[in-house]
Amino acid sequence: MNRRRVLKIIGITGTGLAAAAFGARRYWADYQAKRRTNLLIAGAAPMISYIQKIADAFTKTHKNIDIVAEKGHSSGALIALERGGIDIAVMDRNLTQDEFNLTDHNCLAGIDGLGLVVHPESPVKNVTIEQARFIFEGLITNWKEVGGPDAPINMYGRQEGSTTRSSIEDILMAGGQLSRRIKEMKTAEQVSSAVAKDPNGIGYVSVRTMQDITRALSINGVALNEKNLLISLYPLFRAMFLVVNGESTADIDKFVDFTLSDRGQKVLVATGMLRVR
């Protein structure tokens, strides 16, 4: 319903418009306040928890917009976006050449990193990505195979359903299976605590949950730090992209703009992501 329609409803024609201007403005304000719209967002499961935090902050100042965020996969979300099933696709990777088209628009919204942590006094400082994969696959079982002492490798990780575990499976394992010898923990804090007490331990945690009681290994000679994550040198990372159709609505644009704003980026930083704006 537009303003012209509102004016007709309250019986205002060209004559007497000035006299009823206040009433028209008040009616329009009341109508806008009651009007509710929905935004449907779906995408990569590890990123939806971040999007939900953004949505919670966004709806505090946009009370007439309801947001539903569903976990799924990047590719599936992109297909749903193209078919008009959702308003925003959340991807944990950039568009491929085959996926790119001139009607969709994507933007980098945040970066999340994963760390392989060891005991602070471990002599091992660096592993290759292949060595790391073989360790968590159970193919490398002794630290001496990666330049450490002659001691068994004790692995710690997260339980099934953890977004950090899902990220490790996707990014590090590349199709390989995590070893059944990994001691599964409910929380990242438990992983860090176990590794900190075990000189032969190694575990994986998200950057946002890393603690000083452990030390992160370099991967392929690249240290885990903010700079190396931002320029994509450190290999264990996920980038969060928002993808919208070229025919986006004002509400969609508002949400994307909020995510990229200083306030939105601060929300992501509070959840452990790195700001990109």
What predicted TM-score, i.e. pTM, was given to this entire model? Answer: 0.73
Do residues 135 and 172 both lie within one domain?
Answer: yes
**pLDDT at res. 16:** 45
In which domain, by residue range, is 71 found?
37-111+239-270
DSSP for residue 120: T
**276 in a domain, yes or no?**
no
3-state per-residue secondary structure call for 186-199: CCHHHHHHHHHCCC
Secondary structure (DSSP) of 218-241: EETTB--SHHHHHTT-SSSEEEEE
Distances (CA, A) of 131 to 47, 75, 137, 197, 219: 27, 29, 10, 23, 9
Distances (CA, A) of 10 to 17, 23, 117: 11, 9, 67
pLDDT in tens, the chain (277 residues): 544 344 344 343 444 444 444 554 565 455 455 678 999 999 988 789 899 999 999 999 999 999 999 998 899 999 999 999 999 999 988 888 889 887 789 999 999 899 999 999 999 999 999 999 999 999 999 999 999 999 999 999 999 988 789 889 989 998 889 999 999 999 999 999 999 999 999 999 998 889 999 999 999 999 999 999 999 999 999 899 999 998 889 999 999 999 999 999 999 988 878 899 8
Do residues 129 and 202 both lie within one domain?
Answer: yes
Distances (CA, A) of 44 to 89, 103, 215, 225, 230: 9, 21, 28, 24, 20
Within 13 A of 138's CA, how many CA atoms are on the CB side? 8
Within 13 A of 70's CA, how many CA atoms are on the CB side? 15
**AA identity, residue 252:** I
Show the tokens assigned to 77. Answer: 């979300």
Can you give the CATH number for the domain in which 202 is found? 3.40.190.10
**95 in a domain, yes or no?**
yes
Do residues 223 and 136 both lie within one domain?
Answer: yes
Do residues 146 and 78 both lie within one domain?
Answer: no
Show the tokens assigned to 252. Answer: 């969609």
255 SS3 class: helix
**pLDDT at res. 277:** 85
Domain count across the chain: 3
